[in-house]
Amino acid sequence: MARERSTTRREALSMDVGFVGLGAMGRAMARRLLAEGHPVRVWNRSPEPVAELVRAGASAAGSLAEAFEAPVVLSMLADDRVVESLLLDEELLAGARAAVHVNMATVSPALARRAAELHARHGLAYVAAPVLGRTDVAAAGNLNILAAGPSAELDRLAPLFEAMGRRTWPLGEDPAAANVAKIGANFLLVSAIEAFSEAAALAEANGLDPAALLEVLTNSLFPGPVYAGYGAMITQQSFEPAGFRLALGLKDVNLALDTGAASQVPLPLASLLRDALLQAVAHGHGEADLAAVSTTSRARAAI
């Protein structure tokens, strides 16, 4: 009986969703929506991820316009350029039946403001809801969702956010605020990874096993998933599969620098991080996990 009530409640809360962008994160998030009983129509530039999600129970949208026929559209695209070229399209938005578009990508605050204005012009609500968490976290439905936009829309979207995340953090009515929060969070994340990379290189160069240093730190000063997870990859020098591609980390640090410049906030540490990430990309690690930035610390130390 309890199982029947749970199923009935889930069906009552189900929402028809269009999902645009099926990279590793997008696929994991769309699967969570399907698992919670939400009908999902998916669109992606390449067909293979669409076929994978159709096998999991989604339906395929033949075009972006078809995806925007759903009442709610979620998108998870790589960067400002892709979002602007695909979704900030006057013709697409003018013909959309959707009531709200939720952009879950890490994009600039400037793009969020342009997007909100353009959507409003065509009668659509725009919500920014970038997420904290890697692909394994997304697959488990444990993302932290940073959400900003019209409060009524955030309330209506709660069942979808609950399907994908363990907590939603409402950050006000201005969608750009959610992107500022995500950029700040990723700036701190990359800073922590670079800091441990340098500490690990120092340990190794002086005869201390970096794994021993990691055990000390994660059980004393720095418990938690960032040092434990990324630190393990750094000590093992194992960067595949990539839960968060290094090239995307570089994109996010550049977003931090651009946002700082626009608001006259110096970020000297971000400049150092950008150069370390650029060095890693130049040496072929752009598609590896973000932890591969540690290769630059080892190279500088001639390890």
CA 21 to chain centre: 12
Q: How far apart are CA 127 and CA 214, in angstroms?
A: 39
Kindly state the tokens that stand for 234.
């750094």
- Active-site pick, 182, 245, 251, 285: 182
The CA distances from residue 150 to 68, 104, 294, in Å, are 19, 15, 41
How many alpha carbons lie under 13 Å from residue 152 in its C-beta half-sphere?
A: 3
Query: What is the number of other CB atoms lying within 10 angstroms of the CB of residue 208?
Result: 13
Tokens at 213, concatenated: 């240093």
Q: Are 193 and 291 in contact (CB under 8 A)?
A: yes
Reported as type and span, the H/E element at residue 174 is none
- Residues whose CB is less than 8 angstroms from the CB of residue 80 and which lie 6 or more positions away in sequence, other chains included: 107, 108, 111
Q: Is 182 a catalytic residue?
A: yes
Cis peptide before 49 (omega within 30 of 0): no
**Residues annotated as catalytic (active site), given as ranges:** 182
